[in-house]
Amino acid sequence: MKPFLAIDAGASNLKVALFEPQENGTLILAHYEVVSLELRGLEETDRTDLLKEKLQELFDRNEIRPKGMQANICAPSFQCFTKFLRTPAVEGSKVGQIVQYEAASQVPFPLDEMEWGYEIMGTADTGELDVMLMALKEEVVESLTTACNDLGIILSVMDGAPAALRNAYMHNYAEVQGCSMLLDIGSKTTNVIFIEGDGFFIRSVNFGANSITQEFAKESGLDWAQAEEYKKAYGYVHMTNMEEPADAYQAILVRTARNVMTRLHQQVSQTIQYYRSQQGGQTPQQIYLAGGGSSLHYTAEFFMEKFNLPIEFFNPFRNIEVGQGVDKQTLSTNAHWLGELSGLGLRMTTVGLTEFNLLPKHERISLQIEKRSLYVVAAVFCVGLVFFAQAIMNIKIVSTQSAAAEEIKGEFSQVASLAGQISDGTIRLGKAKESSAKMERALESRYYWINLINGIQGVLSKVEPGVYIVTQPNELAAITNRVDELIAQYEVNNGAKPGNVTNVQTAIWIQSLGPNMPTITVAGSGGSGGSGMGGGNAEPGMGGGNAEPGMGGPPPGGGMGGPPGGGMGGSSGGQALSTAPLEPIDTIYLKLRAKNIVNPKPRETLNREYSQLLEKLFREHEMFSNSETDTKVTSGGFNVDSDVKWFDFVLQLKLTSPIIMKDPELN
């Protein structure tokens, strides 16, 4: 088995290890090195060039040729979003749907801008599933991928630092009973990790060893680089029984270090309480210190005093063989902040670990195709050698026996046949790549409906619960989400403020969603006609009927699906999506019912402009066309008066990505 690389792209340091896998499934640590990224590594900008530069220097210094080598890499904790969820004990496919729904609401960025995954960690006492969610922003993934690919490195796994640490612990401390806490103090982030049997829980605290440097620099007047170097040379955590140093700078430094560690202790204590009360975990019986930030002198003694628990430094190479070229004494000093490297290395040889892989889907598919292609090429090469050897033998026979000439022709025909086979194989490989691309598109389309509904919901929420209108329609646009801007412009043009601007409460309901144009009935106070998701005289809720206000819809009339009538598919003129044709759908029609705007007096233009505002917002959304001919209000019943409670209108929405109902080629 070939050697491979493990790369930990941390906040302050780049750590790289060379592992040699053995046929018996064990690992040998052949080499490791830690390279400082200096202040540049802490910047929240693209780190691609910095990582590539430092990796190239490391490879050149150690005469390592990275081209074609496989590698596992992990992103630093400050770039990872980690969340623990509990879901009902349902089938695997349904778990994915639930997790995606939760992720959309809890991840602080849109999911389409993230690479994310989840793993079921176990079952809670309640019977619910404990699920770990991990996500990275696309630009982080792209930065790490590009830095490695540009050097010829083939990435196999992209993990997050917390998951890699967990894997390192499980392999090296499997015999430890009870609840253990791994306190990983990094440069920007501290991970508090609880491991209890197969149970696993993590919380990240957004400060670490750099907090000491920053506060020390501020108090001393040194710049950041000077403060960092002074900290490394003279820093320690001041204990209560120690005298204050005579040196003024050192006195400031050790006092600052204790203050930061005290705040960290408070955060860790709160995390322990949360783990016990909300996760049903036990109080830790021992603490393992990890991360470069724990190397500050007297850190272990400080936390031993605070927690009154046994504390030792984490050794991620406890059950990993160390090669002869590695200085074992130096490794024993530095091992506690190399846990991610150990966890990444184990991904190549050990099963039963946390198996996140946040590489982009196309990278993973390409890797699989490449692996299979190597087998195909090797097989063809072997067959070619057989035929080539036979041909050489026949050539020798030709030199002595002229009667063998016809035989040689036969051998050449076999070689030609082989060439044809190779050509056929190339064609099949191309088709396999095309099929993989289609499968990738199909997998990505699984979440299209959720994203579409979320997109529609997001637009509707912008016009509910209220909008601004003015009392005199000729003065200003009657309804707008840019009231302040338009008022200012009116003052410039007219030299005075416009009339009274009023916030008006509004409400809007979805009556139908489908690929065909629905009919519009004359707006009225009742809820007759139409179709909806439910129908009948339903009770309040998602169904139709004579529901009360709320999620069930406007009174009396339809709920989310509309007034009394049929199932989801729109009014009598619409077609249900469940019966839609197999051809791609690029245009959908959204039939809406909205509250009649009669403030300050009934005026048709208010309702019309309300619908036009909604039209504008849909055109601005990335899922819909921004063309006025594609995304527009196509019909509406705006002739209302003060006695009418509701009005209906239809929006034509042109999708930027058509809905593929079914791909016959994937049957």
Q: What is the pLDDT of residues 427-471, one digit of tens each?
A: 877 776 676 666 665 555 556 777 788 788 878 877 776 666 665
Q: What is the pLDDT of residues 51-70, one digit of tens each?
A: 999 999 999 999 999 999 99
DSSP secondary structure, 186-247, as one string = -SS-EEEEEEETTEEEEEEES--HHHHHHHHHHHH---HHHHHHHHHHH-BPPPTTSPPPSS
| pLDDT band, very low/low/confident/very high, at 379 (cuts 50, 70, 90) | very low
What integer is the mean pLDDT of 628-637?
Answer: 82
* Statement: residue 216 has pLDDT above 90: yes
What integer is the mean pLDDT of 518-538?
Answer: 45
H/E/C letters for each residue in 74-124?
A: EECHHHEEEEEEEECCCCHHHHHHHHHHHHHHHCCCCHHHEEEEEEEEEEC
Most confident of 104-118, 120-134, 224-238: 224-238
The better pLDDT of the pair 126, 554 is held by 126
- In angstroms, the CA 100 to CA 98 distance is 5
Residue 510, φ and ψ in degrees, nearest 5: -85, 125
In the sheet where 311-313 sits, what is the strand order? Answer: 199-205, 190-196, 179-185, 286-290, 311-313
Please provide the average confidence, as pLDDT, over all residues in the chain. Answer: 78
- If phi > 0 it is left, if psi is from -120 to 50 it is alpha, else beta; for residue 565 that is left
pLDDT of amino acid 285: 95
pLDDT of amino acid 38: 78
Which residue shows structure tokens 């402009």? 609
Of the candidates 635, 613, 622, the one whose C-alpha atom is nearest the C-alpha of residue 518 is 635
| pLDDT band, very low/low/confident/very high, at 109 (cuts 50, 70, 90) | confident
**Which two structure tokens, joined as six digits, stand for 9?**
């792209």
pLDDT of amino acid 568: 36
3-state SS, residue 528: coil
| pLDDT band, very low/low/confident/very high, at 557 (cuts 50, 70, 90) | very low
pLDDT of amino acid 518: 86
pLDDT of amino acid 170: 92
- The percentage of residues in the chain with a pLDDT greater than 90, rounded to a whole number, is 38
Q: What is the pLDDT of residues 581-616, one digit of tens each?
A: 467 888 999 998 888 877 655 555 778 878 888 888
Structure letter (DSSP) for residue 356: -
Amino acid 544 reads G
Taking the mean position of all CA atoms in its chain, how far away is CA 509? 32
What integer is the mean pLDDT of 84-95?
Answer: 81
pLDDT of amino acid 574: 40
- In angstroms, the CA 201 to CA 284 distance is 12
Which helix (H) or strand (E) segment is 602 a member of?
A: none
pLDDT of amino acid 516: 86
pLDDT of amino acid 450: 74
- In angstroms, the CA 643 to CA 88 distance is 47
pLDDT of amino acid 449: 72
Which of 62-76, 308-322, 364-378, 400-414 is predicted with the least confidence, judged by mean pLDDT? 364-378
pLDDT of amino acid 324: 92
pLDDT of amino acid 61: 94
Taking the mean position of all CA atoms in its chain, how far away is CA 13? 24
Q: Indicate if the alpha-carbon torsion angle 225, 227, 232, 233 is positive or negative.
A: positive
Taking the mean position of all CA atoms in its chain, how far away is CA 215? 33
Provide CB contacts within 8 A for 620, sequence distance 6+: 626
The better pLDDT of the pair 483, 10 is held by 10
DSSP-derived pairing of the beta strands 27-36 and 13-21: antiparallel
Provide CB contacts within 8 A for 538, sequence distance 6+: 544, 545, 546, 547, 552, 559
What integer is the mean pLDDT of 184-213?
Answer: 91
Which of 341-350, 389-398, 419-428, 565-574 is predicted with the least confidence, judged by mean pLDDT? 565-574
Terminus-to-terminus CA distance in the chain, angstroms?
Answer: 38
The better pLDDT of the pair 164, 394 is held by 164
- The percentage of residues in the chain with a pLDDT greater than 70, rounded to a whole number, is 70
The better pLDDT of the pair 609, 538 is held by 609
Of the candidates 71, 73, 64, 61, the one whose C-alpha atom is nearest the C-alpha of residue 35 is 61
pLDDT of amino acid 70: 95
* Statement: residue 400 has pLDDT above 80: no
* Statement: residue 77 has pLDDT above 60: yes
- In angstroms, the CA 292 to CA 188 distance is 11
Using CA atoms, how far residue 584 sits from 65, 455, 536, 665, in Å, is: 48, 19, 32, 14
pLDDT of amino acid 338: 96
Q: What is the pLDDT of residues 636-649, one digit of tens each?
A: 877 666 677 888 88
Of the candidates 188, 173, 161, 201, the one whose C-alpha atom is nearest the C-alpha of residue 343 is 161
pLDDT of amino acid 395: 52
pLDDT of amino acid 531: 34
What integer is the mean pLDDT of 294-305?
Answer: 95
Of the candidates 31, 69, 36, the one whose C-alpha atom is nearest the C-alpha of residue 51 is 36
DSSP3 helix / strand / coil % (the chain, rounded to 5): 45, 25, 35
Q: What is the pLDDT of residues 220-278, one digit of tens each?
A: 999 999 999 999 999 999 998 899 999 999 999 999 999 999 999 999 999 999 999 98
* Statement: residue 369 has pLDDT above 70: no
What integer is the mean pLDDT of 477-486?
Answer: 56
* Statement: residue 71 has pLDDT above 70: yes
* Statement: residue 473 has pLDDT above 60: no
pLDDT of amino acid 570: 38
Amino acid 521 reads T
Helix 361-400 to helix 405-444 angle, to the nearest 10 degrees?
Answer: 180
pLDDT of amino acid 41: 63
What integer is the mean pLDDT of 317-342?
Answer: 94
Of the candidates 84, 279, 314, 301, the one whose C-alpha atom is nearest the C-alpha of residue 176 is 314
| pLDDT band, very low/low/confident/very high, at 213 (cuts 50, 70, 90) | very high
Q: What is the pLDDT of residues 30-59, one digit of tens each?
A: 999 999 987 776 666 678 999 999 999 999
The better pLDDT of the pair 354, 579 is held by 354
